[in-house]
Amino acid sequence: MRITPLMPNLYINPPKAPTFQSIIRDVRDSNGNIKNSNSTCFYSKDIDWKNFSDYLFRKYQKNDKVNVFSFGCSDGSEPMSLAILLDTHNRYEARKFFPIIAKDNDEFILNRLRSSNVRAYFSDIDKIVEFSDNHLGRYFIIKPQLPENESMIIHPTYELNNRIRYINSDVRKSVNALPSKDTVLMIRNIVPYLGNEAKQEEFINTVTSKLKENCVVVIGDLEEDLGIGQKLEDAGFVPTEIDHVYETKSLSGQV
């Protein structure tokens, strides 16, 4: 199995800058055939984001600190989506969730994300406006663009960047350092990219062995297709009312 580096999604003719909805990564078999292909965007449809935010605030209402990890963060659209949503929900209480630790093993895209302007399609902008309660300017500096353009240049503000810490890391190794308590782990649509089935199994087994008390795991459509949700349940995790979101049982055995 071979995993390609992050590359432009040529199907939508992206510009040279890192672009939400324009970054794609393929998983190919030994013959070069594509087994999985996944691109990134803000507020992807495989999770009910607003209900997820409500759930996190309810679950951790008594906590002073919650450890939040976004594994395989790619262009940063996932951790930024979550950071904006939490911050918009309750700016004061949201501080317990920050900084979100966002990890990926592609240093090129992380460096571009840390230091460069980003081109966003209007569909992304519309989602940010919706989920930020019309506070786009709080989280992004908008650069001038021509009326005929299909996208615009945006730059994450200090306020948004301060809520996320981007780290170059092989998540197959850093999973071993996950805190066992009060941890939210997002591993959405990344498991197929971790290697063969044995390596995927090893990764999930490590996740379930590390996360013990008051923890949440969020997976994506790809993981559900691979049966990862069932593996989490077999290991003692409980599905929540939100699709793709699983939690550890309480110490009393009640959800």
Reported as a single tens digit per residue, the pLDDT across 63-75 is: 999 999 999 998 8
pLDDT tier for residue 19 given thresholds of 50, 70 and 90: very low
On the 0-12 / 13-18 / 19+ scale of CB atoms within 10 A, 92 is: exposed
Q: What is the CATH code for 2-247?
A: 3.40.50.150
Average pLDDT over residues 55-66: 97
- Given a cut of 50, is residue 14 above it in pLDDT? no
Give the mean pLDDT of 175-198: 94
Tens of pLDDT, residues 110-159? 777 766 677 788 889 999 999 999 999 999 998 777 666 777 888 899 99
Q: Tell me what pLDDT residue 249 has.
A: 84
Q: What is the overall mean pLDDT for the chain? A: 84
106 pLDDT band, cuts 50/70/90, is: confident
**Residue 215 above 90 pLDDT?**
yes
Q: What is the residue extent of each domain of the chain?
A: 2-247
Length of the chain: 255
Q: What one-character-per-residue DSSP string does 204-218 give?
A: HHHHHHH--BS-EEE
Examine the pLDDT at 232 and tell me if it is beyond 50.
yes
